[in-house]
Chains A and B, each alone.
Chain A
Amino acid sequence: MPSETHLSPVATGEPSAPATGEWVDELLLAGPDSELALHLGAPLDRRALRALVLEREAELVAAGLAPGGSVSLRLPPSLAFVTVLLAAWRLGTQVSLLDYRLTQHEVDQAVARLAPQLLVQPSKPATGALRALFDVDPAYLPNPAGVPAATPHTLIQLSSGSTGPSKIIGRTAADVISELDRYNAIAGIPRRGERAVVLGSMVHVLGLVGGLLHGLNAGVPMVVPPRLTIDGILKALAADDAPTTLIGVPSQAEILAAVAEPPALPGFRRMITGGELVRPELWRTLTEGYGITLGNMYGMTELGVIATDIEGAHRPELTPAPGIAVRVEGGEVLLSRERSPYIGLVDPTRWADGWLRTRDAGEVDPDTGRVTIKGRLDSQVSIGGLKVDLTEVEQTLADAPGVDAAVVLYDEGIRAYVSGVDTSAVDAWLRERLAAYKRPRAVHVLPALPRTSSGKLLRDRAALRSAAEQAADPT
């Protein structure tokens, strides 16, 4: 186990406990009783949502949670996730989110670091290919080693860390509220009377704040198709004539573009993707084929939404969201953020003097102020919209019994080269330790990994590929 600094309040004059829950009522739950709040497989109005949140709050209290307490949610996208999250915030507790796809090993590590008093997870394992929504009955597991919230953060998330274990990212209620204000100030963002079909997972920042929380705040019901089949997505788009925005990732735009003759979708107005920009050809196919606009959003777990091009009018440039200052230093995009988002870690290469270093390469146009993002400066890659740090994968692989050396790089998916073992042993090791989306699509075993003249592991894609081909076919 890596040794970790224990979470402790930072002496910055910030409050030392998470916000009390009034903001949840005022900004998320308030609204006409009969207004559609969410559509998660079935419509749910605000009155019903409020009633469910109160029930969950009573369950959390019965499980021993109190204001100022801490709770981890390991729930897949579900009505249970939404209602437990809102209930825990309403109770004034600190909520950490664990991706439901993490392995037990990864969850155990996270719980040891975060020390939540309560872990909420499905009472039965949640599985199902292509499911965007799960039917979940939450189980409340008190953690005897848990401690109350030690920082003022309302929301805690883990990032895939590029050095050592993942980073702990904390956001206060005030910070989340300021992101909601930013959303409301972005021109072209869905407003009351519109709806949003959200394909991105509600347990990550784009789906969570852009879909769920903005939707509740602005009266834009978040619609999640039960399954992410093409048919499932088209049905969700066709179900209502209200102006509809589709929020997803570029690969989901790819599969929608595969539909030769899309059905009539009178409400479908726009798609907005998070993450990398879609290819120009795909952009044309989709906008012309469906008669929609296709825009892009740039954001990160640390801060939420940062810059947008909602209508796709300035591709590849993005307009910084109101209230976000962007500058570029040495080719790297920096963002204004008053306090460091990282907990238990003072790392000046990540945040210093009010500026967050994104590790993204970019440019700012001095005339328009618009920013262009040009890809990662470190080993982080995006797999289906989820960030994966290749260093974490490589380290896990290098720790496997019998492995002499490992190199992991992105080459048509995550690709690994190892020496010293056979693949079946490595497979089992990775399955136990890494969520499926982080695992290499291919593991090549070589007699020895190629090295530079100074003895460092070679990271050249072409050289590694040809070494693997030779190993597979020595003739």
Chain B
Amino acid sequence: MSETTAAPSKEDVVEMISGYRAQVSKADTEDLDSLELAWLLHQAEQRYGVELDLDDADLSRMHTVAGAAQVLADLVGGRGDG
């Protein structure tokens, strides 16, 4: 059974990057650029108290809000690849 301890949702991802987007006056879009992704990873580490060491395959799925939420949910919710 996998736990569902508040795994990050799309809304959480949007909320985490909204601070950065507000600072640099960027519109809300589904696509994430590399700086938004760097910011998101750092925010997620702080919020969920985890250290994220992602490989290229994970990161390549994170160029959209939905993809990023999915990867973070896998990692923070406990990935079943043990």
Contacts and interface: CB of A to CB of B under 8 A. Distances in A.
**A is bound by B:** yes
Interface of A: 127-131, 228-231, 251-252, 254-255, 258-260, 279, 282, 384, 411-413, 415, 437, 441-442
SS class of chain B's interface: helix, strand, loop or mixed? helix
Main secondary structure of the interface of A (DSSP, over half): loop
B25 A441 contact: no
A249 to B, nearest CB: 9
A130 B27 contact: no
A411 B29 CA distance: 13
Interface residues of B, number: 25
Interface in B9-43: 19-20, 23-27, 29, 31, 33-35, 37-39, 41-43
Nearest to B41: A229
Contacts of A231: 41-42, 45
B35 A251 contact: yes
Contact of B25 (A131, A229, A260, A412): A412
B35 A254 contact: yes
Nearest to B28: A412
Q: Which 9 A-B pairs give the minimum distances between C-beta atoms? A: A129-B59, A412-B27, A230-B42, A128-B56, A251-B35, A441-B29, A255-B39, A229-B38, A255-B38
Contacts of A258: 19-20, 39, 42-43
Contact of A129 (B26, B29, B62): B62
A129 B54 CA distance: 10
Interface of B: 19-20, 23-27, 29, 31, 33-35, 37-39, 41-43, 45-46, 56, 59-60, 62-63
Given A129-B59, A129-B60, A231-B42, A255 B27 contact: no
Contacts of A279: 23
Nearest to B59: A129
B39 to A, nearest CB: 5
Contacts of A230: 38-39, 41-42
Contacts of A442: 27, 29
A52 to B, nearest CB: 25
A129 B31 contact: no
Given A254-B20, A255-B38, A258-B43, 9 more contacts: A127-B60, A129-B34, A229-B41, A230-B41, A254-B23, A254-B35, A384-B35, A442-B27, A442-B29
B57 to A, nearest CB: 9
B56 A127 contact: yes
